[in-house]
Every structure is written in C-alpha cells, then in structure tokens.
Amino acid sequence: MLFWNAKGAEDIATRGVLRGLDRRNGKVVVRIVPISRVGQYDSITRGVRIIQAPTTIVIDRKRRTRVITGLTERQELEQAVGDAFAGR
C-alpha cells in the first residue's frame, strides 16, 4: 500500500514502481492511496508511523508490516514482497 501525494516527484516515481510490481499470480495486492486519507485506513496503519509521502507499507499474511519511507526502487520492493512471502 502506497500513501502518496500526486504532486511529489518521488511519489510519482514510487507509484510507477508499484504499478510494475510482480503480482505473483494475484497473491500481491497493490493499493495507492492519497496521504490525506491515511486516517481512513486506521485498521491497517495502527501502530505504523506514516509521517510523510511517499510511504509504502508491505503487509505479510500474519499482518506484520514493513514500512518504506521515501523513494523506493523495484529491487527494494521485490525484496520486501519476497521477504513477506517467506515470513521474514
């Protein structure tokens, strides 16, 4: 899940990375949400600090989260998703 600001260059670049992410045959769900709507996702973000855009959250099956703040690259996100699948 990406919390972003449509006017930020890093946000736009991170959104592009997420759109190209391997969905692993539908097992990976990508959501892109304006940072102004973070409060509407309290059940997902409870206990997670989201203080700036872009912030990407990778959530595994056990609801453990990895937070990536700022610009991220494809390799970093692929690694985070792989780790989530492996339970790391």
Using one digit for the tens of pLDDT, what is the confidence trace for 20-42?
999 999 999 999 999 999 999 99
The predicted pLDDT at position 7 comes to 97
* Nearest by Cα to 62 from 76, 42, 78, 83: 83
* pLDDT tens-digit map of 76-86: 999 999 999 89
Residue 81's domain comprises 2-86
Tell me which amino acid residue 21 is. Answer: L
Residue 87 structure tokens: 């339970």
CATH number at residue 73: 3.40.30
3-state secondary structure of 21: coil
In the prediction, which pLDDT does 49 show? 87
How many domains is the chain built from? Answer: 1
Task: Sort strands 32-34 and 65-69 into parallel, antiparallel or unpaired.
Answer: unpaired
